[in-house]
Structure formats: structure tokens, C-alpha cells
Amino acid sequence: MNFNQTEFSGYLQVFWQFSWPQWVVFSLIINAILYLFSIGLYVFIEKTCRKSQLQEKNHPVTRSDFYLSLMTVVCNSFVMLLGAFLWKSGWIILGQTQSVFRIVAEVAALLLLMDLLMYLFHFAAHLPVVYKTLHGKHHEHVSTNFLSLFVLHPFETIGFGLMMLALLTAHDFSVVSISVYLLLNLIWGTIGHLNREFFPASFDRFFVGTTRFHNQHHLDESKNFGFYTSIWDRIFGTYK
């Protein structure tokens, strides 16, 4: 099974012809939609999931967290603009038509590689000086709410984005693979910051970074630095 190359190239040509003001508006709209999608998904799961809460109460929603979450949307838009610049400058080359098998392989590679990079970045964010300056605000959410995923220092948000862009410069991933990965990333981050278990307990044996896995990190900041999996925590001795 292959995607239609002519139609696919046509979409890329439209984006290639965007002016920079159009790119700014487009990136803000896309990231605002993803932000609202995450909040909607969180609320939907909270309302429909029958599993018990991990902690007694959700973290309260504060005005400062709301403003910081909007700043995260702006920072994600900046990363998207930087990605567009690197693409138009020839640093990032987007693969064209690919088989479903190739797309699945690329998405799996992005998940594993980004999981490793995010583990290292997250571990570094817990070094005392860095934690106090950057990451401490996120950990005020010992319990979580629908904004917790987005309560990040701008440097953290941009740092995560730069790691992604670095991978895209190293390999010609297809637009489909990148899009699927980014959607999975958002869904996984939303589920990971729920205040109730989402996955069956048996998933732990498959090295999945479950909701409980990440909740344990918010309870014990020296453990569980992974995001999608628990592989790197198990390898480097930080698994709980």
C-alpha cells in the first residue's frame, strides 16, 4: 500500500509557497487546535473512564498555569516555524511516497529515539540548578490537571522541539511519519498526565510508559524519566 505521490507533493507545494506571515498564522492555529484537542481529550477521559484516581484530587487550575500553557503553545509554534525554515533552507528533507511498513518503521524509530533523547533531557532538567530555574514549575503539579502537560518553562518546550528537529535533519522522514508521531506524542502526553490510570496493569511488563509510571515520577522525582517507555529507566537504574 502506498500513498498517492502526486497528491502528496501538491500539499507540500502549497506549504512551500507560504509567505512567512502565513506560516506564523498557520503554526499558531495548528498548535492552538492541538492544545484544545489535548484539553478535550483529557476532560473526555476523566468523564468517561471508570478507573480510580491515582491521587485524591486534581491539581487546581491557576491563572499563572493557564498563561504558561499559552506560552507553551507560542513556543511550539516557534519550533514549527524553525522547522519550516530548515525545510526551505534544505536542512530538512521530507520523504515522499512510502509504504505503510516504512511509515510504521519510521514512527517506531522516532518514538524510541525521542524517548532516549527526552530521557536524557529530562534527567538533566532534574540537576539542582536546572531544576530550580526551569523544571520546578512543572513539578508543582504533584497531582495533575488538564493543563499539566503544557506547564513548562519556554526553554524546556524549545529544547524538546530542537531534539525533534535534530532527528529530522539526520534522516528524511516522511510527512506522514512525522504527523503520526506528533499526534501520538500529544495523545501520550495527555494520557500520561491524567490523574487516573488509563492502561491495564499488565502493560508494565511490555515496558510501556503508562500513566501510573509518569505519576510515580511526579511523586518521586528521582525515578521514571522516560516518556513513551520505561526501557531507558530500566537500563540506567532509575525505574520505579
Dist CA 124 CA 160 (whole Å): 12
pLDDT at residue 3 in the model: 46
How many domains does the chain fold into?
1
* Average pLDDT, integer, range 57-65: 88
For 135, the 3-state DSSP assignment is helix
Per-residue model confidence as pLDDT tens digits over 150-168: 999 999 999 999 999 999 9
> In degrees to the nearest 10, what's the CA dihedral of 46, 229, 175, 26?
40
* Average pLDDT, integer, range 22-50: 94
Q: Which element (helix H / strand E) includes 98?
A: none
The neighbouring-strand residues paired with 126 are: none
* Average pLDDT, integer, range 37-55: 87
For 172, the 3-state DSSP assignment is coil
Q: Output Rg (C-alpha) for the chain, integer angstroms.
A: 18
Dist CA 75 CA 96 (whole Å): 28
pLDDT band at 97 (very low <50, low <70, confident <90, very high): low
| Length of the chain as a residue count | 240
* Average pLDDT, integer, range 96-118: 90
Range of the domain at 55: 5-236
Per-residue model confidence as pLDDT tens digits over 191-238: 989 988 888 878 878 888 888 898 888 888 889 999 999 999 999 999
Dist CA 8 CA 71 (whole Å): 32
pTM here? 0.89
* Average pLDDT, integer, range 76-89: 96
Nearest alpha carbon to residue 148 among 164, 137, 161, 132? 137
Tell me the pLDDT of the chain averaged across its residues: 89
